[in-house]
């Protein structure tokens, strides 16, 4: 996702350890983890709501089968053309 390698992760960990200290680092990790989980749940909820709304829009439009209507008109035209050729 961010294309971060092992060396970059080690550097970030060392800087975080120096800035926050060994006592606050586990607390910070838990807080970030909980925040990421909450963000993921919220994004999933938004995605589900969008899909639901799109399905509500698509369902009424599915009754308007445009391709079937065109195929039926083409078959009718072909039949009338064949009858005219006889």
- Is the pLDDT at 84 greater than 70? The verdict is no
Q: Find the angle CA(50)-CA(54)-CA(52) to the nearest 5 degrees.
A: 55
Whole-model pTM above 0.85?
A: no
* Of 73 and 45, the one with more pLDDT: 45
User: Can you give the pLDDT at residue 50?
Assistant: 92
- DSSP-based three-state secondary structure for 56: helix
Within the chain, strands assigned E span none
Beta carbons of 13 and 28 less than 8 angstroms apart? no
Total number of residues shown for the chain: 86
Calpha distance 39→45 (Å, rounded): 10
pLDDT computed for residue 86 by the predictor: 55
* pLDDT, tens digit, 9 for 90 and up, residues 1-51: 568 888 998 998 899 989 989 899 899 989 999 999 999 999 999 999 999
Q: What is the mean pLDDT of residues 43-69?
A: 78
């Amino acid at each position: 996702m961010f294309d971060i390698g092992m060396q970059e992760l080690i550097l970030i960990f060392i800087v975080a350890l120096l800035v926050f200290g060994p006592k606050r680092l586990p607390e910070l990790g838990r807080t970030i983890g909980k925040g990421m989980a909450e963000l993921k749940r919220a994004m999933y909820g938004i995605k589900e709501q969008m899909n639901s709304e799109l399905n509500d829009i698509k369902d009424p439009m599915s009754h308007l089968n445009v391709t079937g209507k065109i195929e039926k008109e083409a078959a009718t035209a072909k039949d009338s053309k064949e009858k005219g050729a006889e």
